[in-house]
Structure 1
Amino acid sequence: MTTEIPTPDDEAPAPGMIKADLLTGLVFIILGVAIFYASWTMDRLEVRRIHPMTIPGLVPGMLSLSLTLCGVILSVRSLRQKAESGWQQLQGALLSGAAGRALVVMGLALLYTLVLIGNMPFWAATGLFVFAFILVFECWLAEPRRPLLTSGLWALGLAIATSGIVTLVFERAFLVRLP
């Protein structure tokens, strides 16, 4: 009995996904450069004699450089792979289940950051986000779908624990006032 060992060609991504990676890498590069510019132009607070290593734009600037680097790596990798008829298959990659789940994650993250944070206490916003995230991905987008009652109880427990722990860590360990 012989078993075939997969070759690198068997595991190669679909041409549409290669082009999707290229577009995603370019978006990461643009986003990273824009965030770096915004963090560079933030007030440095020298007038208040703030230490240069604690300037408000330092962490966003470092994260933006990391995002830009990841975008460059993703773009270069996708350019080096063969993707015949990749642009024609791009639509299929963008309409796939994985792309839909990624859009749901982005939507939930935007809802959390732009709507919930600032309009309710941080702990409540975080708990609601974790609860909704678990229910969406276990009861709505999972294959097979899990029962609502057991997932709801699990999500409630994790939401309470996560919001409590995150709030305590930021307020007590990092001394950050949360909204």
Structure 2
Amino acid sequence: MILFAVGVAMLIGGYTMDRLEIRQIHPASIPGLVPMILGLAMMLCSVLLFLSARALHIAAQSQLAKTVGPSTASQFDEALNQTDDPITSNRDLFFAASYSVIYALALVGSLPFAQATAIYIAVFYTHFTWKRDGSASDHVKRIAFGIGFGIMGAYAIASLFEYGFLVRLP
């Protein structure tokens, strides 16, 4: 709900920004366009996250009902909490934070923007979709998809900035 509220605030804030039409600048180049797009994207992601968590909650509840039978809410919460792994969650949070800082401080600037972003996306995707019990062919497919996804995403982002927003990238 907090992410959705922040998205709404970004959308409203971007919409209410001053326009540059007074200075004979094209109306489509409004300064609030990027915050509005990011606000909409954040709202969409928060809804998808909510629906995913709800589906996981329902699946866990039905699985518990099959194995244990009818249960109380406290029994369900206890069983659901046993499936969460706080160590993995904290490790993933630390990875995301530290890798994002490394990207911003070390990769961008030492490599061209598109290459640095391709590496960032590929490693980030591969880390969060990796399955420890997967087969070797599954790992190779996942890495190959991560590299392809990183290259396509990075060059799409770089093209958007260079040609859409007319920003020179390092």
TM-score (norm 2): 0.50
TM-score (norm 1): 0.48
With a CA cutoff of 8 Å and minimum separation of 6, indicate the structure with the bigger relative contact order.
Answer: 1
Identify the structure with the greater helix proportion: 2
